Amino acid sequence: MPTPVGRLTVLYDADCPLCVHLRHWLLRQRQLVPLDLVPAGSQEARRRFPELDHTATLREITVVGDRGQVYRETSAWIVCLWALADHRAKAHWLATPAGRPFARVTVLAAAKWREALQGPDHEAGPGEAGPGEAGPCEDGHCGVPGPPG
């Protein structure tokens, strides 16, 4: 049976320490389907996918398949796991009616953590740059803060 997708592009927020951490984690995994990780909203992302709402890709994880499939939020997380050798079975379960609520809770928790990192009114939070400051990954090393609260 042919694979429905041969390659996936994950658009991630390069200014989010959690997103950068997950990018590095994905790259360390054995991939059954190759993953290209491209900063959301970047020139490269806009060149590859001119039809996407690039502002939205900065708010929610977006994955694009090589055949034009677009996955967002919970489905994007599931398809990322599906692409990984050690996590494909878990992805199949998370895609079921029984598993999907668990995937959704994970996505909501990540969004809440990310929101806490951004600070009130989306001002620069821990690890993020304020106006005129260097970004959190300026030196190529992004830290992942502890959980909020």
Alpha carbon 66 to its chain's center = 17
Tell me the C-alpha distance between 57 and 72, whole Å: 8
Say if 66 falls within a structural domain.
yes
Residue 63 lies in a domain: yes
Kindly state whether residue 68 falls inside one of the protein's structural domains.
Answer: yes
The answer to whether residue 141 sits within a structural domain is: no
Domain extent for 90:
8-119
36 falls within a domain: yes
What does the pLDDT read at residue 131? 37
> Rounded to whole angstroms, what are the CA distances from 103 to 73, 92, 113?
10, 11, 15
110 found inside a domain: yes
Asked, for residue 127, whether it belongs to a domain, the answer is no
* pLDDT by residue, tens only, the chain of 149 residues: 555 789 999 999 998 888 898 999 999 999 999 999 999 999 999 999 999 999 999 888 899 999 999 999 999 999 999 999 999 999 999 899 998 888 888 877 777 777 776 665 544 433 334 433 334 444 333 344 443 33
Tell me what pLDDT residue 56 has. 92
Q: Reduced to 3 DSSP states, what percent helix, strand and coil does the chain have, rounded to the nearest 5?
A: 45, 15, 45
Specify the number of domains making up the chain: 1
Q: Does 38 map to a domain?
A: yes
Confidence (pLDDT) at 143: 42
